[in-house]
Structure 1
Amino acid sequence: MIRGSCLCGGVTFETEAAPEGASACHCGQCRKQSGHVWASAFVPKPALNISGEVTWYAASESAERGFCPGCGSFLFWHAHDEDTISFALGSVDGPTGLTLEKHIFVADKGDYYEIGDGLPQRDQG
């Protein structure tokens, strides 16, 4: 079981599904919304139980980002044409049991850091 929450505790989530695709996203939208890099993993959307009020922001025509309206924590990412939902690894309460698999959208990464952990890097998703 993985459980997580926002900074203020107003939004919580849990899943018994095994998360997949642990990645660090370096796209411009994730950098703007998180302040740096956004690390996430995904599960089937029906397998993620969310409690509390989530505000969904239409970040593009194809995806939305969910955040807590109280504290502003960026918690979820969902593509409209996918049946999965990503959750922020930093919001998980306790150990995740996961290891990053890759870096995505590295073509958009900031110029103030280097990626040197040896994981695969994809220019896009």
Structure 2
Amino acid sequence: MQTGSCECGAVKFEVTGKLRPVVACHCTQCRKTSGHYWAATQVENEQLNITEDSGLKWFRSSNFARRGFCTGCGASLFWQLDGEGATSIGAGTLDGKTDLKTEKHICCADQGDYYDISDGLPQAADLDNSND
């Protein structure tokens, strides 16, 4: 089991399933929400147990997805694509050692002009059927 939380502890969660490798999303929404690009893993909804939700707020960020964040500290925690049955989880919100690796970059067409993607991992111009 993997645990995670926001910075202030008003949102805490446990993950009981296998986490997907990390995908880095460079879309404008992810950059606006996180302050940089969004790096997330993912798990089936049934394998995500939110154990503390006093600070959890969901924001409908588009007509096809919503984002979960903490109203106390502002941490960007979750992303859910409507009807997918899975939740993307900000990789940085997980506690301790995760053994996760970043596998690719998506929405690179929206990448900010202040950084380069130079790690040699695959890059897709758009969502590339990967959900984050």
Shorter-chain-normalised TM-score: which range? over 0.9
Q: Which residue of 1 aligns with 2:82?
A: 80
1:101 is paired with a residue of what secondary structure? strand
Q: Which residue of 2 aligns with 1:11?
A: 11
Q: Which residue of 1 aligns with 2:46?
A: 46
Aligned length: 125
Query: What is the distance in 2 between the residues matched to 1:93 and 1:43?
Result: 16
2:102 is paired with a residue of what secondary structure? coil
Percent identical among aligned pairs is 50
Q: What's the offset of the Cα at 1:79?
A: 0.6
Instruction: Structure 2 unaligned segments of length 5 or more: list them.
Output: 128-132
**Correspondence list, 1:76-115, <5 A:** 76-115=78-117
Instruction: Structure 1 unaligned segments of length 5 or more: list them.
Output: none
Query: What is the distance in 2 between the residues matched to 1:96 and 1:13?
Result: 15
Query: What is the distance in 1 between the residues matched to 2:67 and 2:15?
Result: 19
TM-score (norm 2): 0.92
Which segments of structure 1 move beyond 4 Å, counting only runs of 4 or more? none
TM-score (norm 1): 0.97
Query: What is the distance in 1 between the residues matched to 2:65 and 2:21?
Result: 17
1:20 is paired with a residue of what secondary structure? coil
